[in-house]
Homo-oligomer: A and B are copies of this chain.
Amino acid sequence: MKKNAFYAQSGGVTAVINASACGVIEACRKNKDKIGKLYAGENGILGAIHEEMFDTSKEKASEIKLLMQTPGGIFGSARYKLNDINKNRAEYDRLIEVFKAHNIGYFFYNGGGDSMDTCHKVSMVGKELGYPVICIGVPKTVDNDLPITDTSPGFGSVAKYTAVSTIEATLDVASMAKTSTKVFISEVMGRHAGWIAASAGLAGVNGIKTPHIILFPEIPFDQTSFLNKVKHSVDSDGFCVVVVSEGVKNKDGSFLSEVSNKDAFGHTQLGGVAQVIAQLVQSNLGYKYHYAIADYLQRSARHIASKVDLDQAYAVGAHAVTLALQGKNAVMPTIKRLSDSPYRWKINHTSLSRVANKEKKLPRSYISKDGFSITKSCERYLRPLIMGEPDQKFANGIPRHAKLNFYKVAKLINKKFVLE
């Protein structure tokens, strides 16, 4: 009997995670003779645990195609890491119980390092319980911190957003600097790795020097050299654009954003790092500043996604199905770079154990000696990832997104599962 398949989205979503969903769904549809129905978990892995699943096979092909243009996680994601298998084996057993009840033989898990670990463990538990499930990871993370793969789908689009926003804001502040704002600070995501901050370095082309300063989580913050560089930039160019990673740390390893403020009500609150930097600039140099915190806007900005990223997100989804049908288990599709310029790549795969819980940081060789900008080799790596502007349909002046019907799969297990 044909086995059904299960797909779930995990962790922070991206502008193109639904393109991976589209890849999985379309590949399953093309292989109807081998794979039964493809169910999607409502709110990620929680959907399997609670038996809350959508039957994707009933959705219209045209709306599935629109997933290519729809940011966020269409089926709901979850920031939920399964417990340590030795401490809470019950969660894993429950997953297999649900899979068995619904005749699910394929598990596609779309997430980052943590999720790859979970996916790996599920494959082992299934085997042990005599219900083997083919478990394939589908890589995703704006942080670009998965090892082995050339890049992680989701990153290229945030990188493009960051580069584009930086050049646009630079043109703005450059025209205001004479009589108004002299320092513009843009805070970007990246708690542990500076890949997104680094991508701002792609903004400077055609002789436009921007950003003047990038602050990376990998480089301990040095207030004196930072302020000197701000002053120097204003003196020579009339203004200074600073891109700061949310994860920038002091020399003692504490986050810069940990400066605690008391508000008028006596509440302690954490300011964003952009505000800390702005305050430093103002109190030491007296320049007028503005700051932006794009937050979710950066990772959901499908309207300015990278075509390379979108293509890769789709490809890893589709290839996950190919791998499953080849009987590969506990693997993840990876992107292998064949050349920088023109950028050529192909899909490979690696075992989940090699990617689980590992973090790829920005190498020191990608950061300039003074710690404030990217090197040529970093640009060679990053530039291809932001290339191309994919289609985006609009209706009523805003992007046209997928409208699914979300057909619920009938529950077959007469027992609720309570999470620890």
Q: Which residues of A contact B (CB under 8 A)?
A: 9, 12-13, 15, 43-44, 46, 70-80, 160, 163-165, 167-176, 178-181, 184, 186, 202-203, 205-206, 259-265, 267, 269, 271-272, 275-276, 279, 283, 290-297, 299-304, 306, 383, 386-389, 392, 394-399, 401, 403
Given known A-B contacts A74-B175, A398-B205, A292 and B293 have beta carbons under 8 A apart: yes
**Residues of B with C-beta under 8 A to A403:** 206
Given known A-B contacts A295-B290, A297-B165, A72 and B171 have beta carbons under 8 A apart: yes
**Residues of B with C-beta under 8 A to A44:** 179
Which one, B297, B383, B394, contacts A169 given CB within 8 A?
B297
Most B CB within 10 A of own CB, among A163, A169, A180, A264: A169
Which residue of chain B is the closest to A389 with respect to CB atoms? B394
Given known A-B contacts A297-B294, A397-B202, A398-B205, A303 and B178 have beta carbons under 8 A apart: no
Which residue of chain B is the closest to A73 with respect to CB atoms? B175
Q: Let me know if A180 and B291 touch, CB within 8 A.
A: no
Which one, B72, B167, B262, B396, contacts A399 given CB within 8 A?
B167
Most B CB within 10 A of own CB, among A70, A168, A184, A275: A168
**Residues of B with C-beta under 8 A to A295:** 169, 290-293
**Count of identical protomers in the assembly:** 2
Q: Let me know if A72 and B172 touch, CB within 8 A.
A: yes
Which one, B168, B296, B301, contacts A302 given CB within 8 A?
B168
Which one, B171, B181, B392, contacts A70 given CB within 8 A?
B171
Would you list 27 pairs from A and B whose C-beta atoms are within 8 A, ordered by A residue?
A9-B175, A15-B168, A72-B171, A75-B175, A76-B178, A79-B180, A160-B398, A164-B399, A168-B300, A172-B296, A173-B296, A184-B296, A202-B398, A259-B264, A260-B263, A261-B264, A261-B269, A269-B271, A275-B275, A291-B293, A292-B293, A292-B294, A293-B295, A383-B396, A387-B397, A389-B392, A389-B394
